[in-house]
Amino acid sequence: MSPLHKATTRDYLSRVNDTEFPKPKAATLAKKWGYDYWDGDRRINYGGYNYIPGRWAPVANRLIQHYGLKPGDKVLDIGCGKGFQMYELAQALPGLKVSGLDISMYAIENAHQEVKHLIDHGTASRLPYEDRQFDLVISINTLHNLHNSELEAALYEMTRVGKRQYLCVESYRNETEKANLIYWQVTCEQFNTPEDWSWWFKSTGYCGDHSFIYFE
């Protein structure tokens, strides 16, 4: 995920000092997970989350290669948003069975038409799936938005429904990255160092793969 994350230029001070959308206002609007979060003003969050052909393909190809995915395998994307990563996975490996789950009805209603019908509405802490139903469960830039009790349950749930797991979350290694994360985020509830995340994984028995996003 690092190349995609680093491709975006961020003005941390402008976001935190904005007078029309101060952080409390921006966060309140963003946490409704509706139009403002996805397609509203950039000072609130994405400022227009649109499908760009091929943008998510590198991540899709890395996942397919690393996990040796093959046609017929089942992949679940927790916090899939508009399903763009799901679509790129399906395009990169015909026959792969992709599913998604997101808390945002707005995202589902405006999801990529090819995968829209494959997305369930729900929360990461209570997955409506059977034990080990999926060959791979992924969650990219989602679980850091959960409060502690929800995060604990979500990590258990990822382990329960997937044979293998991969998650990507925000973290920080020094005070500069911590400040940048605090300035930029509008929905984050977990402000954890890599060591803190390791504690979470050990405490919940999460043994899947993981990577971190840093705001350098």
Residue labelled with tokens 């405490």:
203
| Cβ–Cβ under 8 Å, residues 187 and 115 | no
Q: How far apart are alpha carbons 123 and 191 in whole angstroms? A: 20
| Cβ–Cβ under 8 Å, residues 168 and 214 | no
Domains in the chain with CATH codes? 2-213 (3.40.50.150)
Q: Note the pLDDT tens digit of each residue in 155-181.
A: 999 999 999 999 999 999 999 999 999
Q: Does the pLDDT of residue 3 top 70, yes or no?
A: no
Q: How far apart are alpha carbons 153 and 160 in whole angstroms? A: 10
DSSP state of 116: G
Containing H/E element for 25? helix 23-30
Q: In 3D, which of 190, 88, 102 has the Cα closest to residue 148?
A: 190
- The confidence band for 14, taking pLDDT boundaries of 50, 70 and 90, is confident
Q: Note the pLDDT tens digit of each residue in 68-121.
A: 999 999 999 999 999 999 999 999 999 999 999 999 999 999 999 999 999 999
Phi, psi (degrees; rounded to nearest 5) at 171? -155, 180
Across 71-201, the runs of DSSP E, i.e. the strands, are 74-78, 97-102, 119-121, 136-140, 165-170
Sequential DSSP letters for 156-176: HHHHHHBSSEEEEEE--SSHH
Retrieve residue 60's tokens.
């899709």
From the DSSP assignment, how many helices (H) and strands (E) are in the chain? 10, 6
Q: Note the pLDDT tens digit of each residue in 128-138.
A: 999 999 999 99
Using alpha carbons only, how large is the chain's radius of gyration in Å? 17
pTM given for the model:
0.93
